[in-house]
Amino acid sequence: MGMIEIISLSKWFGDFQVLKDITDTVERGEVLVICGPSGSGKSTLIRCINRLEEYQQGKILIEGLDIHGRDVDVNELRTHIGIVFQQFNLYPHLTVLKNITLAPVKVKGVPKAGAERLALELLERVGIHDQARKYPAELSGGQQQRVAIARALAMKPKVMLFDEPTSALDPEMINEVLNVMKDLARDGMTMLCVTHEMGFAREVADRVIFMDGGIILEEAPPEEFFSKPKHERAQAFLREIL
Amino acid sequence: MHWNVIANNLTYLLVGAYPHGELGGLAMTILMALGGIFGAFWLGLVFGLMRLSKKRWLYLPALAYIEIIRGTPLLMLIFWFYFLAPVLWGRSLPGHQSALISLIIFTSAYIAEIVRAGVLGLPKGQMEAARGTGLSRMRAMRHVILPQALFNMVPSFVNQFVSLTKDTSLAFIIGVNELTKAATQVNNRTMVAPTEIFITIALLYFVICYVLTAFSRRLEKKIMRYQARQR
């Protein structure tokens, strides 16, 4: 049984079909990189997994459980699936520490002291424990994204979704975020990353998926995908970004 | 000029017959304004949040409420409530209570729309991030969306509250002894100084509204500093 099973998933925005009959299985501990041109449906696909997007056809199972099952509580489901966004989406009115402790305290009922201890540990892990009392706007983009990762990890998720986590960053800050992600991957986290960071994919991905027009065009281990992509459009895409 | 008329009736203009009789005048105006602001804020917040809901049984009543109230003159609402209250409650409400309820209902419809606009004005990512960590919609509103949105709404709120303060003068029409009523009483009694009397109450209205806007300006400066920090 895979950690995440996506079965014949289709989704429409009005008349436009963004996802066309997608089927894929992600194993526990697997690091999957999803790439493809913009509008190919890759972000939509991972956002379906924690139900930030609804889909019209098909199924998604997490550890064998249909995420649209009748007795599934969507809020409970989301506590198991961390998500990191392109635009960080930190809460600007709360300190870094409060950004991280909000969900553990309010959703899981973790006592405040325990949540803060965990938050400081996570900040240490992402390398910015000295910024806990600051507000998001006082941090650089790279630091903000690392806080966002810590915020997601604070719920102790089984899966982490990354939706273009480095696309909004200045070039010199990309690596500090990728390093945190690599660290997480080596720790055995199941990760789905929509990213164009091919260095990251080469280093830690178990598998690369190339999407275009709402379908998975190509799927291969990173070495194979980068050295000899089979599909013409994947070749064109790689020429474009490398 | 007969400024001595003002001097002789100043207590009446400020507090009515109080403490030997009923409270009135400026004090009544201020009380009604404060009660109205308090009530309209909370009622408006509730209707604004209902209006934002995706559930039809929540947003449809809110939508109807907002549209109907906004399409009704306040003066008519005051009349309406004054004459309807005895039918609804089986006894008549005192004029100031009935006027206060009308003011609250009227203003809350506008507050509801301010709340809606303020919440929709925040980046979508804020709600997504909060929901993404497992917070329910209600909790996300309470802890993530509203603290930011309400802060941004302050200038619009103050605008509405200034209107409400001035609109308390309409309660005059159903005999509430607030500042405008007190002024007309003094005028009818003395007969010689309408100019002085109405200049005086205009000044008094101006002063309380100015206090509100001055407070708002200070808050806005604070907000601008806060927003500058976010960039």
B contact test, residue of A78, A84, A155 with most B CBs within 10 A: A78
Q: What does the alpha-carbon distance between residue B68 and residue A173 come to, in Å, rounded to a whole number? A: 53
Tokens 């308090």, located at residue: B38
Share of chain A above pLDDT 90, in %: 94
Q: At what angle do helices B146-167 and B95-120 cross, to 10 degrees?
A: 150
pLDDT in tens, chain B (231 residues): 789 888 899 999 999 888 888 888 999 999 999 999 999 999 999 999 999 999 999 999 999 999 999 999 999 999 998 988 888 888 888 899 999 999 999 999 999 999 999 999 999 999 999 999 999 999 999 999 999 999 889 889 999 999 999 999 999 999 999 999 999 999 999 989 999 999 999 999 999 999 999 988 888 888 777 666 554
Residues of A whose CB is below 8 A from B133: 78-79, 82, 102-103, 107, 151-152, 154-155
Nearest by CB to residue A107, choosing from B123, B128, B135, is: B135
Q: Which two tokens stand for residue B41?
A: 């804020």
CA distance B101 to chain A (A): 34
Close Cβ partners of A239 (under 8 Å, ≥ 6 residues apart) = none
pTM above 0.90, yes or no: no
Min CA distance, B57 vs chain A (Å)? 21
Q: Confirm if A93 and B147 have CB atoms less than 8 A apart.
A: yes
What would be the CATH architecture of the domain defined by B3-230? Orthogonal Bundle (1.10)
Instruction: Tokens for B64, please give them.
Output: 């109807």
A124-150: string of b/e by CB count within 10 Å (b at 16+)? ebbbbeebbeebbeebebbbbbbbbbb
Nearest to A155 among B128, B133, B231 (CB): B133
Please give the structure tokens belonging to residue A84. 């990191």
Does A76 sit within 8 Å of B229, measured CB to CB?
A: no
Whether residues A137 and B230 touch (CB distance < 8 A) is answered with: yes
Nearest CA to A99 out of B62, B148, B161, B69 is that of: B148
ipTM of this model? 0.93
**Token match 């909370």: residue?**
B42
Structure tokens at B174: 């159903």
| Chain B residues touching A77 at Cβ < 8 A | 134
Contact between B144 and A91 using a beta-carbon 8 Å cutoff:
yes
CB contact under 8 A, B125 and A78: no
State the DSSP H helix or E strand holding residue B161, giving kind and residue range, or none if neither: helix B146-167
Q: Where are the domains of chain B?
A: 3-230
